[in-house]
Amino acid sequence: MYFQVKDVQQYQQNKEFIDTAIVPLVYLDFAEDKMVKSSSDVEFLMSLTSFIEQQFKGRLMLIPPFSYTESTRSEQVVPILKKNIQEGGFKHVIFITCDHYWTNLQKEVDVIWLPAIPIESMDKDVKKRILEEQLKQVIPVLTSKWTQQ
């Protein structure tokens, strides 16, 4: 599901089935020499998360990315965000990012960190294969959450 009206309405009628929220944490860098890399990371993360959404549409909701710059990045914010999303009825809140910074937070929140792969220059089939490989890194995290209780 996406955070859009049609899906949210479906979510509200099926809360017992859609128990997981995925939140991309997106680092934006506007420095002349970093902006391209930053956008490449974002492109990768957005492609990967929509692929995850396609595979697990009925069980999770992909939340619009939480974006920040170096000076607005704050350790306090993410656990609060998690709490707010849980109050909306999601049992599991999983953050996904290419920014290493968040791995420090792993005790408090579930963070999947993935190294960004520059997929923007790849052809369709290679891109697809890469995303599939990356999805395989994510699935165990999801299934371990889902089999917990």
Partner 1 sequence: MVNKKVSRRQFLNYTLTGVGGFMAAGMLMPMLRFAIDPALQVKAEGDFILTSQKIADLTDVPVRVDFTYEQVDAWYKSEVSEMAWVYKEGDRIVALSPVCKHLGCTVNWEGDRPNEYFCACHGGRYEKNGKNIPGTPPTGPLDEYEVSEKDGYLMLGKKIPNTLV
- What's the rounded Cα separation, in Å, for the pair 87 and 83? 6
Q: Does 140 bind ligand FES (CB under 6 A)?
A: no
| 4 near partner 1, judged by CB under 8 A | no
Placement of tokens 């165990």 in the chain: 140
Which of 4, 31, 58, 139 binds ligand FES (CB under 6 A)? It is 58
Count of residues for the chain? 149
Binding residues for ligand FES, rule CB under 6 A, total 2
Does residue 2 contact residue 23 with C-beta atoms inside 8 Å? no
User: Segment contacting partner 1 (CB under 8 A): 57-65, 74-82, 95-103, 114-122?
Assistant: 57-65
55 interface partner picked from ligand FES, partner 1, none, CB below 5 to 8 A per type = partner 1
* DSSP sequence for 92-123: EEEEEES-GGGGGGGGTSEEEE-----GGGS-
- With tokens 């692929």, the residue in question is 51
Q: Which residues bind ligand FES (CB under 6 A)?
A: 17, 58
Q: Which residues bind partner 1 (CB under 8 A)?
A: 10, 14, 17-18, 54-59, 124, 128, 143
